[in-house]
């Protein structure tokens, strides 16, 4: 016979955590047909000798809710081996919605996920009202990967409670009953589950806390019970995990799982300001699992933070009067002005001013701010920091930052991580990565479009932890499982994440020795001409979705086989019988 595709002679890491092995992979009708020695030909063949062959990566934390409506390619995720993405995280999204509330949901997304309102107003078609309608709208556009969506809490709350939700009033029994009904409707239509946020950091553009912040334990557990009634769906939530809040907040999340029995994941980061706080929360998650409660920590494989620069929204001089006077000028003109010694001296003599408490301090934390060149250094040490360089050179950190930002004709970037690098080491990242009750997430594709770029998480995880780590590489088979089987299992996608006959033919062919992340770069291709960061990688020989090659060496082939995945998916019969 002739297969649709044969991948020849690659080193297969099958997603189940075992030792990679050499094999051919045959694909037919969008499924893996055979693994081993394949003698029959393929209509398309890929020579994978010396390359790593893995399942496609499953990204469980993105915000492509808007972009998937107007765009076919969910970049930069597709350039980093992602073949399935789950959006609608953190309780923000665009359905269900009444016509009069559309702008409110836009403002919520702008405030929480930093996607500009003009982009959303121009790009969203609003040919939906209910959550099932929204899934139908997604299906009307082809994509480069499979897309899944959570039912977002703030949108649901506004739909049911109107202005009372915006004021964060307590839901009545009638409100909760209606939210339950709509949640069941969403799960039946194909929602992956329900997402929420209690974070104090999640605010509207006007600075108001988002509607889901007003929910109490009755409301959260009540909605979770709707998933229990359907017997499917998972829960995702963002909590305040600072020392003064984490006991009470974690109890809310645990209560949702105790009431419903449904799996829940919560973002857990090592904060630079609270280096060991994550240990207590991770201990509670471990205890919950020991008691039969399915809870997971969503973690990052590297430091997470903001990029600063003259071509971005913020940088160390954003609140200096001299800079604010030229802020609206084109980049090239600003660079020319800033290279003038007199302007430089004047600006450096000024004190920053902001009416927002702590805003200036956040963009001037030079102890945790680093140059960000190409290739970017995601594992910097104290000496690499602007403060460290200033001490070594006997100069002001403001002088160092000023000069760095003028590099590359003003396109230079500074990396300011606020988590995952406390004490200038990756010990917390390593411990969390090793914990079986954690799952890699929080890549935030589609969000924070002009100042954060974390969609390269999969590439970093493989390249750094599996090859470049100074202390020695970790087990590659297990790292691949962290990107494939683990996240797929968490959200109930049992039909993918494994290289075995019968599973979906979502596959990456990777030149592992050549795997490399490039520095992000700015483009102006969003609706309304708005800008966003994109980030490429070397080493992805081919990325295959549903049996079709969508990218070769990072270049689009024209194939768009991605589809909307409606809810949990069963494992192939042969696998289920094992």
Tens-digit pLDDT profile for residues 226-239: 999 999 999 999 99
Task: Encode pLDDT of 312-354 as tens digits.
Answer: 879 999 999 999 999 999 999 999 999 999 999 999 999 999 8
Q: How far apart are CA 80 and CA 302, in angstroms?
A: 15
Amino acid 359: pLDDT:
86
Amino acid 354: pLDDT:
85
CB contact at 8 A, 42 and 35: no
Task: Encode pLDDT of 547-565 as tens digits.
Answer: 999 999 999 999 999 999 9
CB contact at 8 A, 82 and 145: yes
276 contacts: CB under 8 Å, gap ≥ 6: none
Q: How far apart are CA 551 and CA 532, in angstroms?
A: 21
pLDDT reading at 206 higher than 90: no
Q: Give helix then strand counts, H and E, for the chain.
A: 21, 25
CB contact at 8 A, 55 and 15: yes
Amino acid 518: pLDDT:
98
Distances (CA, A) of 453 to 417, 483, 521: 12, 18, 10
CB contact at 8 A, 462 and 34: no
Give 355's pLDDT tier (boundaries 50, 70, 90).
Answer: confident
Q: Kindly state the tokens that stand for 428.
A: 């917390």
pLDDT reading at 576 higher than 60: no
Angle at 436 between CA 292 and CA 274, to 5 degrees: 100
How many CA atoms within 13 Å lie on the side-chain side of 45?
11
Q: What is the 3-state secondary structure (H, E, C) of 31-46?
A: EEEEEECCCCCEEEEE
Provide mean pLDDT across the span 291-300. 98
pLDDT reading at 575 higher than 70: no
Give me the percent of the chain exceeding a pLDDT of 70. 99
pLDDT reading at 509 higher than 70: yes
264-267 and 295-299 strand pairing: parallel
Amino acid 549: pLDDT:
98
Task: Output the furthest CA–CA distance in the chain (Å, rounded).
Answer: 76
Amino acid 574: pLDDT:
67
Amino acid 470: pLDDT:
94
Angle at 553 between CA 551 and CA 558, to 5 degrees: 30
Provide mean pLDDT across the span 482-506. 98
Range from 281-295, 355-369, 480-494, 548-562 carrying the lowest mean pLDDT: 355-369
Asked whether the bond before 96 is cis by omega within 30 degrees of 0, the reply is yes
Task: Encode pLDDT of 465-488 as tens digits.
Answer: 999 999 999 999 999 999 999 999
| SS3 call for 270 | coil
Phi, psi (5° rounding) for residue 310?
Answer: -70, -25
pLDDT reading at 287 higher than 60: yes
Give 309's pLDDT tier (boundaries 50, 70, 90).
Answer: very high
Question: What structural domains does the chain harbor?
Answer: 1-302+420-578 (3.20.20.140), 307-417 (no CATH)
Q: Kindly state the tokens that stand for 393.
A: 């050179």
Give 356's pLDDT tier (boundaries 50, 70, 90).
Answer: confident
532-534 and 507-510 strand pairing: unpaired
| SS3 call for 313 | coil
Amino acid 284: pLDDT:
98
| SS3 call for 373 | coil
Q: What is the mean pLDDT of the chain?
A: 97
Amino acid 77: pLDDT:
98
Q: Which residues pair with 84 in a beta bridge?
A: 58, 146
Q: How far apart are CA 32 and CA 55, in angstroms?
A: 10
Task: Encode pLDDT of 38-47 as tens digits.
Answer: 999 999 999 9
**DSSP annotation string for 133-175:** HHHHHHHTS-BSSEEEEPEEHHHHHHHHHTHHHHTTPPPPHHH
Task: Encode pLDDT of 117-169 as tens digits.
Answer: 999 999 999 999 999 999 999 999 999 999 999 999 999 999 999 999 999 99
pLDDT reading at 414 higher than 80: yes
Q: How far apart are CA 216 and CA 208, in angstroms?
A: 18
Task: Encode pLDDT of 41-69 as tens digits.
Answer: 999 999 999 999 999 999 999 999 999 99
Q: Residue 167, exposed/middle/buried by CB under 10 A (0-12, 13-18, 19+)?
A: exposed
Angle at 177 between CA 172 and CA 179, to 5 degrees: 95
List of E strands, 246-343: 264-267, 295-299, 304-308
pLDDT reading at 577 higher than 80: no
């Amino acid at each position: 016979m002739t297969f649709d595709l044969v991948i020849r002679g690659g080193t297969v890491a099958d997603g189940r955590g075992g030792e990679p092995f050499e094999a051919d992979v045959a694909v037919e009708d969008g499924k893996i047909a055979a693994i081993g020695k394949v003698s029959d030909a393929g209509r398309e063949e890929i020579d994978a000798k010396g390359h790593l062959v893995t399942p496609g990566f499953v990204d469980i934390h993105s915000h492509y809710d808007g972009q998937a409506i107007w765009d076919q390619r969910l970049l930069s995720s597709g350039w980093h081996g992602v073949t399935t993405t789950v959006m609608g995280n953190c309780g923000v999204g665009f359905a269900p919605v009444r016509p009069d509330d559309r702008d409110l949901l836009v403002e919520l997304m702008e405030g929480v996920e930093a996607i500009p309102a003009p982009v959303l107003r121009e790009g969203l078609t609003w040919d939906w009202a209910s959550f099932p309608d929204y899934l139908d709208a997604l299906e009307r556009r082809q994509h480069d990967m499979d897309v899944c969506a959570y039912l977002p809490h703030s949108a649901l709350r506004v739909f049911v409670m109107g202005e009372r939700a915006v004021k964060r009033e307590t839901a009545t029994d009638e409100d909760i009953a209606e939210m339950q009904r709509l949640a069941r409707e969403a799960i039946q239509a194909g929602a992956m589950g329900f997402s929420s946020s209690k974070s104090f950091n999640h605010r509207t553009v006007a600075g108001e806390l988002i509607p889901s912040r007003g929910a109490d334990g009755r409301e959260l557990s009540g909605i979770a019970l709707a998933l229990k009634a359907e017997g499917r769906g998972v829960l995702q939530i963002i909590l305040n995990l600072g020392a003064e809040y984490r006991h009470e907040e974690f109890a809310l999340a645990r209560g949702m799982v105790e009431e419903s029995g449904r799996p829940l994941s919560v973002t857990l980061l090592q904060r630079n300001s609270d280096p060991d706080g994550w240990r207590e929360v991770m201990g509670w998650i471990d205890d919950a699992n020991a008691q039969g409660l399915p809870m997971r920590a969503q973690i990052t494989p590297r430091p997470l933070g903001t990029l600063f620069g003259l071509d971005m929204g913020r940088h160390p001089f954003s609140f200096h009067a001299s800079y604010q006077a030229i802020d609206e000028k084109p980049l090239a003109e600003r660079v020319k002005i800033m290279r003038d010694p007199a302007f430089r001296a004047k600006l450096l003599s000024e004190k920053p001013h902001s009416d927002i408490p702590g805003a200036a301090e956040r963009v001037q934390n030079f102890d945790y701010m680093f140059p960000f060149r190409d290739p970017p250094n995601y594992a910097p040490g104290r000496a690499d920091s602007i403060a460290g360089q200033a001490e070594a050179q006997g100069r002001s950190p403001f002088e160092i930052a000023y000069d760095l930002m003028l590099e590359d004709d003003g396109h230079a970037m500074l990396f300011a991580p606020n988590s995952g690098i406390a004490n200038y080491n990756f010990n917390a990242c390593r411990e969390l990565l090793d914990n079986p009750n954690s799952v890699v997430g929080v890549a935030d594709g589609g969000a924070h479009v002009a100042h954060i770029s974390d969609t390269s998480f999969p590439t970093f995880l493989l390249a750094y932890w599996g090859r470049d780590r100074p202390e020695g590489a970790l087990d590659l088979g297990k790292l691949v499982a962290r990107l494939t089987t683990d996240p797929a299992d968490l959200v109930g996608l049992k039909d993918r994440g494994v290289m075995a006959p019968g599973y979906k033919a979502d596959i990456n062919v990777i030149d592992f020795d050549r795997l490399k992340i490039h520095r992000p770069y700015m483009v102006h291709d969003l609706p309304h001409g708005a800008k966003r960061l994109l980030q490429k990688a070397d080493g992805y020989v081919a990325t295959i979705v549903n049996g079709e090659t969508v990218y070769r060496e990072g270049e689009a082939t024209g194939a768009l086989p991605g589809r909307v995945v409606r809810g949990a998916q069963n494992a192939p019969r042969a696998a289920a019988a094992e």
